[in-house]
Structure formats: structure tokens, C-alpha cells
Amino acid sequence: MDSATQSKSPLGSGWRELLAIVSICAAMLGMLYLRSYRVTRTDDVFRQPWDHHKYIYMAQHNPWDFHIAPFCWRLLNPFLASLLPFHVDTSFLAVMLVEILLTAVMVYFMLKAAGFGQVAALTGTFLYWGLSQATKGPLFLVWLSDPLTHLFLVTTVFLIFTKRPVWAAAVLAAGCLSKEVLILGAPLYYLLTAERILDWKQLRRGVLFGLPALAVFVGLRLLIAERGFDPSYTGTLPHEVASAYYGHLGFGYWQSAREIFRWRVQDFTGWHIRMMTVGTFGVLLLFPLFAIRKNIQPALRWGPFIVGVYAATLLFSSGYGRPLVICFPAMLIMGLNGLERVCSLSSSSPRWPIALAISLALVPLNWLYPKQVDPLFELQALVFILFLAAMLHGAGGTAIAEDRHGIVS
């Protein structure tokens, strides 16, 4: 391999590239693990009648015979944990660590498939590690199914970008066994591949693409009926397992949804807006704004999925950052476009190493406080502003030096 090729592919190619990315992501996972707090059964948080009790129960019993919605339809992750020969908590932890690692690796290859080079894709991978809601948050409550859902989504997008729609459809359908939000990914094939607003050829393929996921989504609800409203069933379960909405018994799926929506309307404040924006994505949310023109097309392609996720969260979820962060593939793509524009302000070349340095500087901020899950947006913004100031100062210094050189000559 000549020097020019090496400069374009600093991580190598083939198995060498894969090994390099896996090694980098494993090192990041190890540091994240050491600087993350994991809730134990002695913590007050564990005693709350939240989602984790349902998943633990499903892993210890027959997941097909559990009927508290929507958790009963998210059976894949508890099933995987039940296959391991460890204590149930250790099994969930092991499964989650593998899922986060594989997701990070797939983020890199997804970004490469989206058209970014190796250094840019690696920059996006570090930005993923800087998303505390996607990495550190799941380690806080290791029994949740979000990392597996992220893995299915990123893999689906990678397969779409690499023109393997059949495999992508199969992966998306399997992902609906993890969490029902992935049904919102059914239009992604059309959205990401259509050559015009109304592309009939891709629309037909897009319908076929979404059918397996729709079949799984509907089939689960037909095979596993919800019975959270049935006292004859909830009476056979522990209270923290039977409760469907913040400890309340006798709440069916739609009744819980009505209560959540009522709570959203009555108690919505500016703090909730923060949690839905920078409280989820941190400073990454600002990066796309630096390349608005270039990001128009990605925004249009990803917009329906993002709007669907936000609408579903407002209607059916009592959380914010954790359910919303699944939009991170779109944010990474548009964020890298913005970072590329930011680095064009620098006088140095090549410019992507500067973006890589920015992403690397943001990651350790998540390790400052092991119990802090929400991103430290103000601190992230400060670090980013310092980088901007340094680049502008360097660019100004270079311009002055060139002017002096021109005068002397």
C-alpha cells in the first residue's frame, strides 16, 4: 500500500480496519464502564415500579406468558438475557455491554456507508460515545432494551446504504421484537433511497420493505394480548411488575397513554423542552446548524422518522432523553456535515483531524460524574467554543502572516 492510500485509509482496510474499530470501541466501552454508576437492588431507584422490573420478570419466566403492555411486546432482550448461565442482573449487564459495543462499531460502518471517509466516520463514532443518553444511560439501568433497539436501527440503516434491502427488512423486523418504536423505521428505505419526492419505483420497494416489520408488530399484539387492566391477572404478579403506569394497578395500555398525555399537557415546562433537545443530544444538536444548506436533504429524508419518534414519545412514554436518543443516526450524519463546515474555518489541512479532536474532547466530559446521565450541555458548549476560538485565532494568524509575506515580497 502506498503512502497516498495510507493517508486516505489510516485504519487500513478489510479485517485490519474492523479490528482497529473494534479495539477502539472496546477501549471506549471499558472507560465508560469504569466511570458509570450502575443501579443495584439496594438503590431506591431500583425499588421504583419502573420498566426494569418487567424485564427481569420476563427473563426469569416465560416471556410469551407476560401481558403487561407495552413491555410484553419487547421480549427479545429479556430472552437473550435468559439464555446466559449467570445471575439475571449479570446476564443483562453482559448482554448490554455487547449491544453497546456492536452499536458503536456499526455506527462507524454506517457513517462510512453514508459517504464519509474513515477519519470522519471515526469522528462520528466518538460523537456517539459522547451521547450519554445512548451509552452511559443504559448502563445506569442495565435491564432496559434500548441498546439492542439502537443496534437494530443502525444495522438497518447500514444495510439500506449498502443496497441490501432484503437483509435490512429482516433486521428491522427482528428489531420490532426488541422495541415497538422500530416500526417507525419502516418508511426509512423509501426516505433514504428515493431520488425525488414521489418516486413510484422506490415507493413500491419501500412498501415491500416495511411489510415484515409490520407483520411482526401486529403479530406480537395478536399473539400476546395485554391484560394490565385485568385484576385476575395483575393479582398474580408482584406489585412492581403488575403496575403499568407509575405504580398504578389496573391500567391498560391505552389508559396509561391517556394518563401520560394528560400529564404532558398539564405539567409541560421549559425544562421539558431542554430535555427534548440539548438534554438528549447535548452539543451535537448544534452541529447541524453550521451546514444548514447541506443538511436540507438529510433533514427531509430523516424528518418523518424524527417527527414520529418525538410524537410517539410525547404520547406513549413518560421519559424524554432515553426514548428520543434513538434519532442519533440522523443527528450524527447532519452533525458531521456541520463539523466539516466548522473545520473549514481552519487554515490547516486536512481538516477532519480537527473534527476528530473536537469529538475526542467531548467524550471525557461524560466521565466526570458517574451518576450523571444527562449530558453536561453547558460544559460541552464551552469546550466547543474554545475549539472554535482556537481555530479562528489560528486562521487569523495565518492570514496576517500571509499578508506580511506579500508585503515583504
Burial class (CB in 10 A: 0-12, 13-18, 19+), 257: middle
- If 0-12 CB within 10 Å is exposed, 13-18 middle and 19+ buried, where does residue 344 land? middle
Residue pair 170/214 in contact (Cβ under 8 Å)? The answer is no
Least Cα distance to 78 among 65, 273, 406, 118 occurs for 65
Give me the half-sphere count of Cα atoms (radius 13 Å) on the Cβ side of residue 233: 18
Closest CA to 387 of 335, 343, 338, 347: 343
User: Which pTM was predicted?
Assistant: 0.92
Q: CA torsion sign, 141 to 28 to 289 to 395?
A: positive
Residue 293 C-alpha cell reads as 444548506
Element (H, E) at 33: helix 14-34
Q: Cell numbers of 404, please?
A: 506580511
Element (H, E) at 377: helix 377-408
- Which residues of the chain are under the pLDDT cut of 50? 1-7, 397-403, 405-409
**Short-list 341, 357, 352, CA closest to 390:** 357
Q: What is residue 348's DSSP assignment?
A: S
Residue matched to cell numbers 471506549: 28
**pLDDT on residue 261:** 77
The span from the first CA to the last CA of the chain, in angstroms, equals 41
Alpha helices in 39-145 (DSSP H): 44-47, 51-60, 76-82, 88-113, 118-129, 136-140
Q: Which residues of 214-232 are buried (b: 16+ CB within 10 A; e: fewer)?
A: eebbeebbeebebbbbeee
Question: What does the alpha-carbon distance between residue 117 and residue 331 come to, in Å, rounded to a whole number?
Answer: 17
Q: How far apart are CA 183 and CA 218, in angstroms?
A: 10
Phi, psi of 68 (to 5 degrees): -95, 110
Q: What is the Rg, in whole angstroms, of the alpha carbon atoms belonging to the chain?
A: 23
CA dihedral 281, 286, 288, 289 (to 10 degrees): 150
Q: Give the closest residue to 189 by CA, choosing from 150, 230, 160.
A: 160
Contact indicator for 73, 257 with CB cutoff of 8 Å: no
- Cβ contact 344:295 at 8 Å: no
State how far Cα 404 lies from the chain centre.
49
Residue 85 per-residue DSSP state: S
Q: What values do phi and psi take at 283, rounded to 5?
A: -70, -15
Whole-angstrom distance, CA of residue 192 vs CA of residue 56: 37
| pLDDT tens digits, 95-119 | 999 999 999 999 999 999 999 999 9
Q: What is the dihedral of CA 78, 83, 87, 89, to 10 degrees?
A: -30
Angle formed by the axes of helices 328-343 and 88-113, to 10°? 50
252 φ/ψ angles, rounded to the nearest 5 degrees: -80, 180
